[in-house]
Amino acid sequence: MNEVASPTKASLAEESIHQQIEALAKAAREASVTLANAASQQKDEALRAAAAAIRAGSGDILSANAEDLRLHGEKLSDSMRDRLALDEDRIEAIAKGLEDVAKLPDPVGRVLAEWKRPNELSISRVATPLGVIGIIYESRPNVTADAGGLCLKSGNAAILRSGSESFHSSRAIANCLQAGLIAGGLPGAAIQLIPTTDRAGVGAMLTLAGLIDIIIPRGGKGLIERVQRESRIPVIAHLEGLCHVYVDGAAKPEMARDIVLNSKMRRTGVCGAAETLLVDKRAAQSHLPAILDALAEAGCELRGDAPVCKLDARVIPAVKEDWDTEHLDAILSVKLVDGVEEAIEHIARHGSHHTEAIVTEDAATAERFLSALDSAILMWNASTQYADGGEFGMGAEIGISTGKLHARGPVGAEQLTSYKYVVRGAGQVRP
Amino acid sequence: MNEVASPTKASLAEESIHQQIEALAKAAREASVTLANAASQQKDEALRAAAAAIRAGSGDILSANAEDLRLHGEKLSDSMRDRLALDEDRIEAIAKGLEDVAKLPDPVGRVLAEWKRPNELSISRVATPLGVIGIIYESRPNVTADAGGLCLKSGNAAILRSGSESFHSSRAIANCLQAGLIAGGLPGAAIQLIPTTDRAGVGAMLTLAGLIDIIIPRGGKGLIERVQRESRIPVIAHLEGLCHVYVDGAAKPEMARDIVLNSKMRRTGVCGAAETLLVDKRAAQSHLPAILDALAEAGCELRGDAPVCKLDARVIPAVKEDWDTEHLDAILSVKLVDGVEEAIEHIARHGSHHTEAIVTEDAATAERFLSALDSAILMWNASTQYADGGEFGMGAEIGISTGKLHARGPVGAEQLTSYKYVVRGAGQVRP
């Protein structure tokens, strides 16, 4: 390759990508005004029409998916290939997901609060869409429909940037979403897929403050860190879920065993899966053996601190990094602590502020854990695997926010709104 | 000056400022953990003790203020000098402001929502502090107490960066706030003033993501744009208030006159002051003359489009920039429009999404205006000058957010909180 010419070519290409994406974002902003004022019924009709288009277009979606698998399948890990692959059942689940979103209450126009002032001004806080939402994701093509559908429901325009592995599948799905919008009498530009997988496309999106209101990255740590570093637009990020379970001395042994096993092993690849088990040293003899038996039997690799290794020969010594690692696999780090206070300290130092659980029958200990820790979700006597918008009764989610600004925890249609104040008077002027 | 040596010196100084501010932010983060768990009573006691310290220290504060005026008074405009100057009355107002904040309900620990799932998991969304808040402001020393007090009330640590003009005054006030914290048994590091007015101090703050959770700039457009451009930390910004009043053909003439006059002239330097008047052409003959009489009589300069100039010889021709300028002065841009739709279009193009008012007796026209426009505050038959947290019954405010993320409109103690989910179970594991 010509080393002198290529940077120039690259910058020309970047320049043209930037212009292309700016034009697309302008169209999205225009569409967002229509979306913001669309009736609930119209948005739901578009969602149902999109579901129908996905069912009708399943052949095209499967061919596109086969093309993605042909191009990228070999270099992907098993779990990534599994995330990418579609079949009739998965396509039906995508269509059904859109119909479920249609059934949710409309988050826009809700009166969040209402009061009257002594001067008779009547004030209400009313939910409004955010505007234009940029979603940057990796290899799961279903995110196209999930994210596009939630944005539509919440009256926002969506700009979707699919990972290169799932680009053809995402494009086929995005076409169905646009068909749904148009069938519902709404502008097709309200959901647009960035037509290139060039990394410059992400960079261009992140500079379009004023046209894009918020960026939501969905993917690995590398992607999210890049987005947080480069973005000139506010980001709602779903960082890692380094979730903890603390088994207190006052826990019921069987409940502790079941909650730890479920928190770790129900599904190991989800962000609500436990990565570290902290056990009160008072429970080391009474509770821990049965917990380790259950985990080992289920095929979980156990890594412990010295006292845990001493208790159980199946446990291999944990290294320093284990306490800070989201394994997303059948591996659990196990540590003895001196009661709830040391558990709180450990979690505050090593946790990712996602989800933590305590198992105890002692209400005062539980309340101390629930109030002292600053994680998005805190569970008492329940599995960390409940950390999920659906399980919270909030419907579909676009991710679980580990930040504290705007939205925290599951980000569903409601969390994709802002609000405005509407003040009704009778001619009041301020003294 | 030695052009080679000075950048080196500057970077050494910057390096040391950065270290100093990082150390200060670490202390703030540590203090924020104590603040987050402090009882309401303790926080309120600290606020009252700070008020007492301000009254007792009024001599020191006035001397510090005299020093600021001596150093900077001559180069300031009249209105800036007025913002900077303190007297006994203003100091009493600052102390009283802190006592008023103490009387507000504690925003932390509020149960924002609570529900039970079919599987008997009980879920509640509980308000939590944000953590550490950085406030960057210009010449008004009272912001030190207002911002510090609101952060304390909401369980957040505050890092305050005062403008150089008010540095000595701000420092004297910050000392009183720290005395209040300590008297209340809380860590003094929960409210800290950056001990330098070097611009590198702002730069350093903006890079401390992880230690500072949110940045709130208070000041002119230049400051806010710099902060938004450079910050690696989310920003809640109070941008300009380019507020509009639209007088509809169906308005009561006297109400229209009074609301326009009040919106523009009650106080011209506040962000809720109207800058542009849009008049329905159906009201040009019936309503506008009395409105222009009242404004002219009150000393308001009138700048109009061609039809308005033709109607009234006192009106000078508006230039293009007038429609996009926040005058913050006794100047009003006036334009005839063809009904509410053109008013909406004009505001969407030229407004700053702060506050707009419509004057009309026609409910359908009003509702169209209220729903179609996307400003933080929309008024029907009331003056734009009501755009103020106090007037909304929300207590003191740290600013009026013109962004849509997290907080919109008046930012008071409640808006300085996030939330977490607390889930209480009886041993549930997820199927």
A chain contacts of residue B155, beta-carbon cutoff 8 Å: none
Tell me the per-residue pLDDT of B302-334, one tens digit each, with 9 for 90 and over.
999 999 999 999 999 999 999 999 998 999 999
Instruction: Using CA coordinates, name the residue in chain A closest to B379.
Output: A423
Cβ <8 Å between A430 and B266: yes
According to CATH, where is 3.40.605.10 located in chain B? 12-238+411-421
Q: What pLDDT band is residue A8 in, cutting at 50, 70 and 90?
A: low
What does the pLDDT read at residue B222?
A: 87
The predicted pLDDT at position A139 comes to 77
pLDDT in tens, A306-337: 999 999 999 999 999 999 999 989 999 999 99
- At B5, the pLDDT band (50, 70, 90 cuts) reads very low
More reliable by pLDDT, B394 or B46? B46
Q: Could you tell me which CATH number the domain at B12-238+411-421 has?
A: 3.40.605.10
- How do residues B282-293 score in pLDDT, each as one tens digit? 999 999 999 999
Return the amino acid letter for B280.
D
Predicted pLDDT of residue A12: 66
Instruction: Give the pLDDT confidence score for residue B229 in this predicted structure.
Output: 87
Alpha-carbon gap, residue B425 to B431, rounded angstroms:
15
User: Across residues B383-399, what is the average pLDDT?
Assistant: 90
Whether A147 has a pLDDT exceeding 70, the answer reads yes
Q: State the Cα angle at A301 between A295 and A307, rounded to 5°.
A: 85
pTM for this one?
A: 0.89
pLDDT band at A140 (very low <50, low <70, confident <90, very high): confident
pLDDT tens-place string over residues A51-67: 999 999 999 999 999 99
Say what the ipTM of the complex is. Answer: 0.90
How many A×B Cβ pairs under 8 Å? Answer: 176
Residue among B37, B252, B386 whose CB faces A121 most closely: B386
The pLDDT of residue B112 is 94
Q: What residues in B contact A391, CB-CB < 8 Å?
A: 117, 121, 430
Domain with residues A15-238+411-421, CATH architecture: 3-Layer(aba) Sandwich (3.40)
Q: Do A258 and B422 touch (CB under 8 A)?
A: no
The confidence band for B10, taking pLDDT boundaries of 50, 70 and 90, is low
Q: What is the structure's pLDDT at B136? A: 95
Under an 8 A CB cutoff, do A213 and B405 touch?
A: yes
Determine the distance in angstroms separating the CA of B422 from the nearest CA of chain A, rounded to an integer: 5
Q: What is the reported pLDDT for A10?
A: 61
Is B385 in Cβ contact with A430 (below 8 Å)? Answer: yes
- pLDDT category at A395 given cuts 50, 70, 90 is confident
- Measure CB to CB from residue A374 to each of B36, B380, B382 and give the nearest one: B36
Q: Do B409 and A420 touch (CB under 8 A)?
A: yes
Query: Nearest-CA residue of chain A relative to B229?
Result: A232
Residues on chain B touching A421 (C-beta within 8 angstroms): 376-378, 392, 408-409
- One-letter-per-residue 3-state SS of chain A: CCCCHHHHHHHHHHHHHHHHHHHHHHHHHHHHHHHHCCCHHHHHHHHHHHHHHHHHCHHHHHHHHHHHHHHHHHHCCHHHHHHHCCCHHHHHHHHHHHHHHHHCCCCCCCEEEEEECCCCCEEEEEEEECCEEEEEECCCCHHHHHHHHHHHHCCCEEEEECCHHHHHHHHHHHHHHHHHHHHCCCCHHHEEECCCCCHHHHHHHHHCECCECEEEEECCHHHHHHHHHHCCCCECCCCCCCEEEEECCCCCHHHHHHHHHHHHHCCCCCCCCEEEEEEEHHHCCCCHHHHHHHHHHCCCEEEECHHHHHHCCCCEECCHHHHHCCCCCCEEEEEEECHHHHHHHHHHHHCCCCEEEEECCCHHHHHHHHHHCCCCEEEEEECHHHCCCCCCCCCCCCCEECCCCCCCEECCCHHHEEEEEEEEEEEECCC
Residue B37 has pLDDT above 50, yes or no: yes
pLDDT at residue B216, as a whole number: 95
- Contact residues for A429 (Cβ-Cβ < 8 A; gap 6+): B258, B259, B261, B262, B263, B266, B382, B383, B385
From the list B252, B393, B421, the residue facing A377 with the nearest CB is: B421
Partner-chain residue, chosen from B258, B372, B426, that has the shortest CB–CB distance to A429:
B258
Label residue B79 by pLDDT band (50, 70, 90): confident
Tens digit of pLDDT for each residue in A185-229? 999 999 999 999 888 999 999 999 889 999 999 888 888 889 988
> In the predicted model, is pLDDT for residue A3 greater than 60?
no
Of B117, B386, B404, the CB nearest to A430: B386
Instruction: Tell me how close the Cα of A99 comes to any Cα of chain B, in angstroms.
Output: 22
| pLDDT tens digits, A346-377 | 999 999 999 999 999 999 999 999 999 999 99
Nearest to B425 among A123, A214, A381 (CB): A381
Residue span(s) of chain B under CATH 3.40.309.10 come to 243-391
Give the residue-averaged pLDDT of B392-402: 87
Q: List, by residue range, all CATH 3.40.605.10 domains of chain A.
A: 15-238+411-421
Q: Give the pLDDT score at A2.
A: 38
| CATH H-level superfamily of B243-391 | Aldehyde Dehydrogenase; Chain A, domain 2 (3.40.309.10)
pLDDT for res B239: 76
Biggest CA pair distance of chain A? 80
* pLDDT tier for residue A5 given thresholds of 50, 70 and 90: very low
Asked if A385's CB is within 8 angstroms of B429's CB, the reply is yes
Q: Is B382 in Cβ contact with A423 (below 8 Å)?
A: yes
The per-residue pLDDT for B4 is 41
pLDDT at residue B129 greater than cutoff 90 = yes
What residues in B contact A428, CB-CB < 8 Å? 381-383, 386
> What percent of chain B has a predicted confidence (pLDDT) above 90?
82
* Token code pair at residue B430: 């997820």
CB contact under 8 A, A128 and B406: no
Q: Share the mean pLDDT of chain A.
A: 93
